[in-house]
Amino acid sequence: MRSILVTGGTGTLGKHVVERLVAAGCRVTVLTRQPRPGGPARQLKGDLITGEGLAAAVAGVDTIVHCATGARFRRVEQLGAQRLLELCREHAVGHFLYVSIVGIDDHPMPYYQAKLDTERLIADSGVPYTVQRATQFHDLALRIVSALAAPPVALVPRGFAVQSIDVEQVAGRVAELALGNPVGRARDIGGPRVQSLAELLEEYSAAIGRRRRVVRVPVPGKIGRAFEAGLNLLGPDGERLGGTFADFLSKRLSQK
Ligand SMILES: NC(=O)c1ccc[n+]([C@@H]2O[C@H](COP(=O)([O-])OP(=O)(O)OC[C@H]3O[C@@H](n4cnc5c(N)ncnc54)[C@H](OP(=O)(O)O)[C@@H]3O)[C@@H](O)[C@H]2O)c1
């Protein structure tokens, strides 16, 4: 039986990855700072920043799926990966899978730069690895548009677009890769449509029945230019998966 450790296994993506790996018959351990009752898999208390619990979590696993993140992303993702990779070498773990983001190579956002550095650290570690990059999840697009829609006039960054993807599609692909052999950089995945934030906001406003006046505002600087250039969108070799933001929204709103 395959034994897999999932960091971030309580998060938006990780919980779906865990469900799929459990359904595939794997012995799954979720690393979490706060074990909670219930859940489909064994939870182990640990912290990627302090290193607490990591040695016990890694002992005896075949594969690690690293999808933890947080406000202190350099430490959770990069330092966390460094600690886990050291343990992978010690325990001869045969596969380290990292979830990353499409278009980070030349993107000045500090979060994206930290992810790129983490990818490089993994590639240079000597541990067999897979990196799966995905575009923004529909959940994140929803968080953005609901925040934009909060004030009476919505100030929408001009020229920003996303190609958001259903997190369950990402989880399906990550689980499939975790069950296979390491492939290095996997093919990028993204959602089916490129949509401007203004367009997503319009879909959201229509769905909740609350129209907003929209004012498009330029975002100055390198970060604004990177988004306007569409660096966060899938390139020609990327694979489009799953339903649209509108599909996700109608499902999400019908669950309320
Ligand atoms: N969101 C997007 O649109 C998107 C798009 C592409 C790729 N990604 C990538 O997908 C991955 C998952 O993102 P997500 O949105 O699913 O994240 P999320 O919902 O914010 O979940 C974060 C997870 O990280 C864990 N975590 C945070 N700090 C930790 C620490 N110090 N030690 C151990 N665990 C810690 C949390 O576990 P506990 O709270 O239980 O400890 C939680 O399970 C990330 O690598 C992200 O960059 C995200």
Amino acid at 232: N
- Secondary structure string (H, E, C) spanning 153-187: EEEEECCCEECCECHHHHHHHHHHHHHCCCCEECC
Per cent of the chain over pLDDT 90 is: 96
Separation between Cα atoms, residue 142 and residue 181, nearest integer Å: 34
Cα of 196 from ligand 1 centre, angstroms: 25
- Which residue's C-alpha comes closest to atom 15 of ligand 1? 12
Residue 256 has pLDDT above 80, yes or no: no
Cα of 18 from ligand 1 centre, angstroms: 13
Atom from ligand 1 closest to the CA of residue 68 = 24
Atom from ligand 1 closest to the CA of residue 7 = 34
Dihedral through CA 231, CA 249, CA 167, CA 120, nearest 10? Answer: 20
Model pLDDT for residues 171-191, shown as the tens digit of each residue: 999 999 999 999 999 999 999
Task: Tell me the average pLDDT across 33-61.
Answer: 96
Lowest mean pLDDT among 124-128, 193-197, 204-208: 204-208
* Ligand 1 first shell, C-beta below 6 A: 7-8, 10-14, 31-34, 47-49, 67-70, 76, 99, 101, 134, 136-137, 140
Q: What is the CATH number of domain 3-197+202-254?
A: 3.40.50.720
- Which residue's C-alpha comes closest to atom 11 of ligand 1? 67
How would residue 211 be classed by pLDDT, with cut points 50, 70 and 90?
confident
Q: Which residue has the tokens 């230019």?
A: 225
Give the predicted TM-score (pTM) of the model. 0.97
Residue 196 has pLDDT above 80, yes or no: yes
- Can you point out the beta strands (E) in 60-168? 63-66, 95-101, 129-134, 153-157, 161-162
pLDDT at 4: 98
Model pLDDT for residues 217-242, shown as the tens digit of each residue: 999 999 999 999 999 999 999 999 99
Q: Is 255 left (phi over 0), alpha (psi -120 to 50) or beta?
A: alpha
